[in-house]
Chain A
Amino acid sequence: MTFFNSPSFPGRSLFARRVKDSHPKEQKDPGWKLFGKVPPREGHIKDPKKIQKEYETKSGRAGPDNPTSPRQSARKNLDFEPLSTTALILEDRPANLPAKPAEEAQKHRQQYEEMVAQAKKRELKEAQKRRKQLEDRCKLEESIGSAAQTWNQDILPNWSAMRTSRRVRDLWWQGIPPSVRGKVWSLAVGNDLNITHELYNICLARAKEKWKSIAAPASDSEPDDAGSSDRESSLELIKLDISRTFPQLCIFQQGGPYHDVLHSILGAYTCYRPDVGYVQGMSFIAAVLILNLDTADTFIAFTNLLNKPCQMAFFRVDHSLMLTYFAAFEVFFEENLPKLFAHFQKNNLSPDIYLIDWIFTLYSKSLPLDLACRVWDVFCRDGEEFLFRTALGLLRLYQDVLTCMDFIHMAQFLTRLPDLIPADQLFQHIAAIHMSSRNRKWSQQHSGTKTTHITLRYKQRVMSYCRRFYFGLRHIVILHSISPWETRIF
């Protein structure tokens, strides 16, 4: 017996003549058929309807008695079978050796048939899988295409009227087609700051001046006129961080096509908001926007996005505000995933350990980019609350894995999520997370006394955070809220 991997059709048909069939009932058929066609019986048992149909039309065209021309069958093979197949050839002993005893020959034949049948089964399965993938991809492309059309023709022209409609919200949840993503993000983020392209150019020009003065050796010793040392070094930090932004994409690095764009956006921002300056995490946000928008529009979206309350709290590193976010998150964590929450508490794994990265980069660093964009889609729809809902969705998705881990393994897992995260599953888990006062169901459930209850617990949690962070309660945080997401600090 020999295994032979036949790479091309002539070779295959040549060897096929010597191949004996695996099916005892059709023993005299040429072995080629073994690999070229699949016997209908097995097809009936294993295959989905579509593949079955294809067999029928195929065998109809080819004719059951006609061994078929190699070319014809080759083309058909392409439909659902691999080009290269592992052919197993049963051969008699070479002539110079004594022949096998009949019993042994029979046994070998039997083994041979079993092996061939198995190999065929496996190949079929793989072919089906590939076929399914192809079908899925086609379906996906089709749906993206039609969704893009809907967005372009129906939704975008009537944005303000349609953005809150049920239909649009549903479509939005499924992910915005990449071709309209930038437009939708821009519209959803808005431009409350009234940033214009001119303003961007002014800020950029200022940033460029600064770079020049930094490059000049004399200014090194000169203290900068306005403000903190952090701000002074902003431009230096940007330089260091740009090359560390999506390094695997190789487009933001020195010499890459978007290096200068990213540099410009971040530089212009530090001139637009010198009080905030550059903070790590910004480079990832700007990079994701650059991938979906023109430069000036990126700047508009970037500044407005960072101006949202949650982003401002984080990028200004406003501790007390950040603590209220973490504490609110924990309330929902406990509500939604009590077992995992208890496990985290037992292991002293506090949300700041994993949330900081997720919130600062809006998941663009921790999730695969396409998935991160889908999170951004719904973040643009639902606001900051969705960032925390996504976090809970992730925890829910990996709940079983996490409950088996100790502190360090959980921390490692959460700060470095798996490379492959099934998007649909993640979104199912996010959908299963209940939160937000905007969601009626939630507010109904948690109205009245329960709200007070939650608020109280929430307050306690913020206090305990403050104690941890400040080593003494210097800040008194008073929360007044119907929803923990609407908090205020006096």
Chain B
Amino acid sequence: MQNNHHKERLYKILVIGDLGVGKTSIIKRYVHHNFSPNYRATIGVDFALKVLNWDQETVRLQLWDIAGQERFGNMTRVYYREAMGAFIVFDVTRPASFEAVTKWKEDLDSKLTLANGKNVATVLLANKCDQGRDVLTNNGIKMEQFCLENGFVGWYETSAKENINIDEAANCLVKHIIANENDMLQSEVLDTISPQLEKDKGGTCSSCFRSQ
């Protein structure tokens, strides 16, 4: 966590969700700025690297594009390790892929937590929004509610094809990852300076620490 003093941050980000929802396409759009309707199915895991300039720092995002078939679930969970953030993707034209979102989220949270015990920042992507809207995503309030209940830091209607909201979603995720990291750094610093704080470990929120 000494990254803070460097001019460069490296984050591992998972991209998960059901098969064929467009995970690879989203990454291709985000990293290579293009789209093809003909991507090959991902077997196992694919990788991409995105370099961002963020407040005069360099942020490197290691994107892990993980195969969507449920069967691979146990095999690919080893890939979750040390990730700092995640996108969970569903296809607005396939309701079943939305139903699987909670499964993916639970799976993620059960296998991956940050050093401070919090879940990693996760953004929900409602992909293929160019192909018509899902009833659910049409209802913004309901989606907000869903995100709140399931611990998503945000949600976006995206289209890799039409390049809609991909950068925005990524920025949102990076923002939360950095905030999480700063929280952890701060709590670490506080821990070292005043170890008596350990007694009050109940407060996981960073602002609680600050106010004390």
List A residues at the B interface (Cβ < 8 Å). 229-230, 233, 237, 240-241, 243-248, 253, 277, 279-281, 283, 317, 319, 322, 352-354, 356-357, 360-361, 365, 408-409, 411-412, 415-416, 468-469
Contacts and interface: CB of A to CB of B under 8 A. Distances in A.
Nearest to B46: A415
Contacts of B39: 244, 247
Question: B42, B46, B75, B96 — which one has the most chain A CB atoms within 10 A of its CB?
Answer: B75
A319 B74 contact: yes
The 9 closest A-B pairs by CB, nearest first: A247-B38, A356-B44, A240-B20, A244-B41, A411-B47, A357-B43, A357-B44, A412-B47, A280-B69
B48 A412 contact: yes
B40 A244 contact: yes
Interface in B13-43: 19-20, 38-43
Given A280-B69, A319-B75, A237 B19 contact: yes
Contact of A237 (B40, B49, B69, B74): B69
A412 B69 CA distance: 21
B175 to A, nearest CB: 22
B70 A365 contact: no
Contact of A280 (B38, B72, B78, B79): B72
B205 interface: no
B19 A353 contact: no
What secondary structure prevails in chain B residues at the interface with A? mixed
Interface in B68-96: 69-72, 74-75, 78-79, 96
A279 B67 CA distance: 11
9 contacts: A230-B70, A233-B96, A241-B19, A244-B39, A244-B41, A253-B38, A281-B43, A365-B40, A365-B43
Which label, helix, strand, loop or mixed, suits the secondary structure of the A interface? Answer: helix
B20 A244 contact: yes
B44 A415 contact: yes
A279 B75 CA distance: 13
B43 A280 contact: yes
Contacts of A281: 41, 43
A468 B75 contact: no
B45 interface: yes
Contact of A279 (B46, B47, B69): B69
A277 B72 CA distance: 13
Given A230-B71, A245-B41, A469-B78, A416 B49 contact: no
A402 to B, nearest CB: 14
B62 interface: yes
Interface string B88-106: 0000000010000000000
Nearest to A237: B19
B20 A416 contact: no
A360 B78 CA distance: 18
Contacts of A243: 38
A333 to B, nearest CB: 18
Interface of B: 19-20, 38-49, 62, 67, 69-72, 74-75, 78-79, 96
A24 B56 CA distance: 64
Contact of B78 (A245, A279, A352): A352
B88 to A, nearest CB: 18
B11 to A, nearest CB: 11
B81 to A, nearest CB: 8
Nearest to A322: B75
B71 A317 contact: yes
Contacts of A245: 40-41
Contact of B45 (A230, A246, A415, A469): A415
B106 to A, nearest CB: 15
Contacts of A317: 71-72, 74-75
A468 B78 contact: yes
Given A319-B74, A322-B75, A416 B46 contact: yes
Contacts of B62: 408
B44 A353 contact: yes
Nearest to B61: A408
B49 A412 contact: yes
Contacts of B79: 353
Contact of B71 (A279, A361, A408): A279
A408 B45 contact: no
Contacts of A360: 43-44
Point out which of A230, A248, A317 has the most chain B C-beta atoms below 10 A from its C-beta.
A317
A422 to B, nearest CB: 23
Contacts of A409: 49
A489 B79 CA distance: 25
A461 B72 CA distance: 22
A357 B67 CA distance: 10
Contacts of B46: 415-416
A412 B49 CA distance: 9
A353 B75 CA distance: 11
B199 to A, nearest CB: 30
B70 A408 contact: no
B19 A240 contact: yes
Contacts of A237: 19, 69
A356 B75 contact: yes
A323 B11 CA distance: 28
A469 B78 CA distance: 6
Nearest to A253: B38
Contacts of B75: 317, 319, 322, 352, 356
B76 to A, nearest CB: 8
A356 B20 contact: no
Which of B39, B46, B71 has most A Cβ within 10 Å? B71
B70 A361 contact: no
B49 A408 contact: yes
A240 to B, nearest CB: 4
Nearest to B91: A240
A316 to B, nearest CB: 9
A233 B70 CA distance: 10
A241 B43 contact: no
Contacts of A241: 19-20, 41
A408 B47 contact: yes
